[in-house]
Amino acid sequence: VPKALGGTLAAAVAICVAAQLALASMQSSEQEAMGFSFGQVLELRGAAWARRTVAAAELVLEPLLVVLALLPQPELMAAMAEDGLLPAAFCRRSCDGSFRYGTFLVGGLTASIALAIPYDLLWDVIAVGVLLSLSLSNASLVNIRYGNGGRVRDPWAEGLVWVLLFSALGAGGCLQRGAVAPLIAGGSIHGPLTAVGAMLSAVLAC
């Protein structure tokens, strides 16, 4: 199972990197700063048929991805509710023993978020959500290894985990605003923000 999981993750990373490189190579720095999608870039390159193909593929594949993402959510939310991290409604079982109420709650909340967020921004929101979930998972793993599973037994470890999380958040934001975004837009690096990001990165390295 670990080898299969590692292979799946490696393949997913390789495909994502190749797709992003292809997207970056097809557009100028000004277009990249404006956040053009695959379809928009393909149309600008004179391949309107490719944009329609991409749009059709998104309509077909994204519902499948949503279903796959929602399948484990009721059990996950139920486990968190049993631990007291979520309201008890998430761990209520229906007559057939399934977490039907949790499914409706998660599905309704997800649908509401999808309706409220413009489609062009949805990819960025998904990326932020994945990054946040991975960060919280790693923080939870560190806490569990130091005996903080269920309740806090080592306050120092708990505090250091929060310091790491906020340092990573600050470093990423400062470096993005101070260095990455200006360079992509063809401007100059913002010194103070970049310095703060570098210092927070040093804290993470320590």
Query: What is the rounded distance in angstroms from the CA atom of residue 118 to the CA atom of residue 120?
Result: 5
pLDDT at residue 57 is higher than 80: yes
Query: CB–CB of 172/20 below 8 Å?
Result: no
Task: Pick the closest to residue 42 from 33, 29, 30, 54 (CA basis).
Answer: 54
pLDDT at residue 165 is higher than 80: yes
Q: How many residues are there in the chain?
A: 206
pLDDT of residue 34: 65
Chain segment 104-129, per-residue pLDDT in tens:
888 888 788 778 877 767 777 777 77
pLDDT of residue 150: 65
pLDDT at residue 84 is higher than 60: yes
Task: Pick the closest to residue 130 from 11, 4, 16, 1 (CA basis).
Answer: 16
Burial of 26 (0-12, 13-18, 19+ CB in 10 A): middle
